[in-house]
Amino acid sequence: MKRRTAIRQLVVVAGGLALLPSCLSGPGNAAIKLSNIILSGEQEKTLAEIAGTIIPATDTPGAKELGVHLFVLKMLDDCYEKDAQQKFIKGLGQADQVAKERFGASFTKCKPEQRQELISDIENKASLPAEIFDFYQIMKQKTLQGYLSSEYVMTKQLIYEMAPGRYNGYFPVKAS
């Protein structure tokens, strides 16, 4: 075997091994690596739509556009107990099931008004399974946390001041 041919084949094999992990994740799995929970790509899309319904896009990007649902997933995977993770996944499935029963389509395929109606019912604690409330409580809390601590909000919406409330020795004083 010639040396150049052997090096060329070695480079092709090394490149294939480097790309293999990205090919294994596929479109059916979550976009980020999770170590404790198993989530499909469709469930991740549902989470993105729910986050987008909680904080919709206006003249500023919404939670879905900022990828806050990935923050929720990472926090759930890293910081919650196994029991809470299972309730979250079960509640997510039940929320999607309720959307199918009410509107004849999954949450991702519902119209924005239908999504908002379902979220309002969950917030108003309408007659829905208890797991949906557990799921929604975590989802809303982490969506708000993720949105408010996102790079966009911290750099574009909130003006970060290193030492707020600094001393102003030149402040005019009114005589009473």
- Reported as a single tens digit per residue, the pLDDT across 41-90 is 889 999 999 999 999 999 999 999 999 999 999 999 999 999 999 999 99
Domain annotation covers residue 8: no
Domain annotation covers residue 162: no
Domain annotation covers residue 28: no
Domain annotation covers residue 1: no
- Give the structural domain span for 70: 44-157
Separation between Cα atoms, residue 33 and residue 74, nearest integer Å: 9
User: Please, which residues have CB within 8 angstroms of residue 50's CB and are 6 or more apart in sequence?
Assistant: 69, 95, 107, 115, 119, 139, 143
Separation between Cα atoms, residue 67 and residue 47, nearest integer Å: 10
Domain annotation covers residue 137: yes
Tokens of 18: 């480097």
Host H or E run for residue 87 = helix 82-103
Whether the CB-CB separation of 83 and 135 falls below 8 Å is answered with no
Whether the CB-CB separation of 133 and 88 falls below 8 Å is answered with no
Please give the model's pTM, rounded to 2 decimal places. Answer: 0.74
Q: b/e map of 162-174 (b: 16 or more CB within 10 Å)?
A: eeeeeeeeeeeee
Count structural domains, the chain. 1
pLDDT digits (tens, 9 = 90+) for 101-136: 999 999 999 999 999 999 998 888 878 888 899 999
Domain annotation covers residue 25: no
pLDDT at residue 166 in the model: 77
